Structure 1
Amino acid sequence: MPTKHCRPMLASLIFLLASIQALAADTQDYATPLLPSGADPWVIRRDGVYYYTSTSGGRIELRRTIDLWHLADAAPVVVWRAPASGPASTAVWAPELHYIEGKWYLYFTAADVRHNDDAHRHVFVLESASPDPTQGHWVERGMLKTAHTGIDGTVFQHAGRWYFVYSAYVGDHSDLVIAPMANPWTLAAPQVDIARPTYAWEMRGGRRILEAPEFLQGPDGKVFLSYSASACWSDDYALGLLHADSGADLLDPASWRKSPRPSFATSLRSGIYAPGHNGFFKGPDGRDWIIYHANGGPDWKCTARRAPRIQPIGWTAGGWPDFGEPGRPPAERASGR
């Protein structure tokens, strides 16, 4: 009977509307963090559910919710703990959850407890076949074989191909290096350095650092990589932006161009300092959002007081992302989003 077929459709519509309303709620509260602490935050949305993770010490935790504004109500679930020894036994940083070809993958940074220094930091991969990443078993797929030691690995798909990007320790500075992927835990060749610190705002806090790269697709197909620049203990820690044309060879360094100024930086007006280590995700209506960590006061350094915040982003008529400023998202632009 017709009513029989309408019931699941009606239930799906109600769920979608509830999800949209949940993300749209409290729209004037973008300056308030979702949690009191949560460095290196990450969000992915799948099947109407948001999954959140962040740096949590010697373990990886996931939270599951349909309402990010009430993330604090979602109990964290520990899905992996660092072993007592070995190459991934300490300094577990910046986990990212990705869904690739029917399985969940967690990419994270870690080091050997015997050598907790930059010369021994690497990116590792976990895999789960469970439909719900907060449940089920996680398999350790090991360390990605990068050309340099480094941190903050991320993956993205473009034009049918998967890529891995990370912050590589190259001499006395950190560069962004990209590589194609043979599978979710194996890199292919070549591994290419596409950006290094060149501007003064990328060298604050006594270090020359580009870290935490994140992929964003523009409405016209343009490819963007945001990154965090300078030392995380500096109030000048900020987001920079690389871009490449939609049809460009992403493994050619010449394809990438760097914006000369920060795209997202400390806002004295909002009282939000050192915004960085962001991620991007889509809301139920398809709009792009940014999640990032920041401090709520000056000179708070690089501690557990860094807290996650979210806000929608806009797109210019020319196809460029407009992040607004921390705590103050941009007005909706005429960009088809």
Structure 2
Amino acid sequence: MRFPGSANDLARGFARAVAWSVAITAMVGCALPAAAADEPDAATFANPLLSSGPDPWILQVGGYYYYTHTLGDRIALWRTDYVAKLGEVAPLTVWTPPKEGANAHSIWAPELHRIDGKWFLYYSATASGFTDDDHRAVFVLENTGPDPMRGKWIDRGRVNTAHAGIDGTVFDHGGKRYFVYSPYIGPDSAIAIAEMESPWTLKGEEVVIARPDRPWERQGGRQIVEGPEFLAGPKGDLFLTYSASACWSDDYSLGLLRASAGADPLDAAAWRKSAQPVFKRGNGVYATGHNGFFRSPDGLENWIIYHANPGRDMGCTAKRAPHIQRFGWTDAGWPEFGEPVPTAKRLPVPSGGRAR
């Protein structure tokens, strides 16, 4: 570049040269891969992950996080290798219900599971023409392909539970597979467990292991315990979290059931309930409930996902949004969830960054 001869011109020319150099550097920076340019921001995230997402669920398999939540009229999956970027992912509808039949309406609380090399979606639904609890049940879809975002989802029908109910989940323990859900028994919504013969068929006795017998399980005008989720303890204990009270209550919260190491999960007496909620509203976050669990990509951290409202009296609507936060364990081997992290507070992403 040629500079003018005078001192002022030289100064102006030098300034232009510096500006041009900065511009070139900026353009080169823009040309860098997004992950490198955004690394400082990418290392943190803030809740909620999405603006809406009742009954959220995350499963990490094969280098991806698979996410889903209640949409009411269909089931969709989100897939990402970086959970903090979930909001940038477009969902894919993988199943829509029939117009009529036992599973036609109120498609709630889907959960994606990988069982014996196949994909299964458990979800709650209501029969067409009805809105009452007596016509709600848990149903199963199966996909035998390697990719849950592709292939055919086969309707395996209703899980043969003893009662109408919602919020089915599964877990393996001691070489057996168990199904846990929330049956409607009289005025109550309870927690029951049974052994599984196949991913859509129960066998043997179905055992009720919890009922809403505490004041904090009766907020909002209904007696409810629902949304059970399994968590294996580091000392061999079995834990089931569950959501307590009506979902439209600000005091919707998480309770905890524990069975000691070596106990029979089908023995109702083996399960002991926490005296108080183990996770409840706080820090401007309300109606904390319907959770799931996942691990960080490097396997070193435990994380909980749950839905919550950002304010009081928002009810049981699509305003409920998915939050995630890390949790730890006490010396006795109990999960310690702490308090809800305030909305918009920056948190470190799960350790290991991207799913592996």
Whether the TM-score (by the shorter chain) exceeds 0.5 is yes
Q: Give 3-state SS (helix, strand or coil) of 1:145's partner.
A: coil
Shift of 1:25: 2.6
Aligned match of 2:199 in 180, 184, 189? 184
The separation in 1 between residues aligned to 2:187 and 2:40, in whole angstroms, is: 45
Distance 1:177 1:321 in 2: 22
Q: Identify the residue that residue 309 of structure 1 maps to in structure 2.
A: 323
Deviation, structure 1 residue 74: 1.2
Which of 230, 236, 243 pairs up with 1:228? Answer: 243
**Taking every aligned residue pair, what percent have the same amino acid on both sides?**
57
Quote how far apart the aligned CAs of 1:285 are. 2.0
Q: Is residue 26 of structure 1 aligned with residue 44 of structure 2? A: yes
* Equivalent position amino acid for 2:179 in 1: F
- Which runs of structure 2 are paired with 1:1-337 in the superposition (5 Å)? 25-26=43-44, 29=46, 32-267=47-282, 270-286=283-299, 287-327=301-341
Shift in alpha-carbon separation, 1:225–1:150, aligned structure 2, 3 A: same
Report if the CA contact (8 A) 1:22-1:66 is conserved.
no
> Following TM superposition, by how much is the alpha carbon of 1:160 offset from its aligned partner in structure 2, in angstroms?
1.3
Distance in 1 of aligned mates of 2:172 and 2:225 = 21
Q: CA deviation at 1:63?
A: 0.4
The equivalent residue for 1:8 is: none
1:132-172 alpha-carbon deviations (Å, 9 max, x no partner): 11111100000011111000000011111100000010000
Q: Deviations over 1:275-315 (max 9, x none)?
A: 00000111112221100000000000000000001011101
- What is the RMSD of the two structures over their aligned residues, measured on CA atoms? 1.9
Q: Which residue of 2 aligns with 1:7?
A: none
How far apart in 2 are the matches of 1:250 and 1:208?
Answer: 24
1:62 deviation in Å?
A: 0.2
* Letter in structure 2 aligned against 1:133: P
Tell me the SS of whatever aligns to 1:260.
coil
Aligned residue number for residue 334 of structure 1: none
What secondary structure does 1:104 align onto? Answer: strand
1:73 is displaced (CA, Å) by: 1.2
**SS across alignment from 1:204:** coil
**Paired AA for residue 133 in structure 2:** D
SS of match in other structure, 2:205: coil
1:117 is displaced (CA, Å) by 1.3
Tell me: CA distance 1:23–1:170, structure 2 relative to 1, closer, same or farther (3 Å).
Answer: farther
Task: Supply the distance in 1 between the matched residues of 2:43 and 2:71 (Cα, whole angstroms).
Answer: 27
Distance in 2 separating the partners of 1:289 and 1:181: 27
Q: Which 4+ runs in 1 deviate beyond 6 A?
A: 21-24
The 3-state SS of whatever aligns with 2:216 is: helix
Is 1:224–1:242's contact at 8 Å kept on the other side of the alignment?
A: yes
What are the superposed Cα offsets for residues 24-83 of structure 1, whole Å, 9 maximum, x if unpaired?
Answer: 9316x3xx2000000000000011210000001210000000111110111100000011
* 279-288 or 143-152: bigger deviation: 279-288
Question: Any idea what SS the aligned residue of 2:134 has?
Answer: helix
Looking at structure 1, the residues matched to 287 and 315 of structure 2 have their Cα atoms a distance apart, in angstroms, of: 9
Is the CA contact (8 Å cut-off) linking 1:22 and 1:67 kept in structure 2? no
For 1:261 and 1:25, locate their aligned partners in 2 and report how far apart those are by CA, in whole Å.
Answer: 35
Deviation of 1:95 (Å): 0.2
CA distance in 2, matches of 1:24, 1:141: 40
Larger Rg: 2
Deviations 1:224-280 (A, max 9, x none): 00000000010010000000012101101000000000000000xx21001000001
TM-score (normalised: structure 1): 0.88
Distance 1:172 1:179 in 2: 22
- Worse-superposed segment, 109-118 or 169-178: 109-118
Unpaired stretches in structure 1, ≥5 consecutive residues:
1-17, 330-337
Change (3 A) 1:22 1:325: farther
TM-score normalised by length of structure 2: 0.84
Runs of at least 5 residues in structure 2 that lack an aligned partner in the other structure? 1-35, 346-356
Q: How many residues align structurally?
A: 307
Q: Is the alpha carbon distance of 1:22 and 1:70 closer, same or farther for their aligned partners in structure 2, counting shifts above 3 Å?
A: farther
What CA distance in whole angstroms lies between the structure 1 residues aligned with 2:250 and 2:142?
Answer: 36
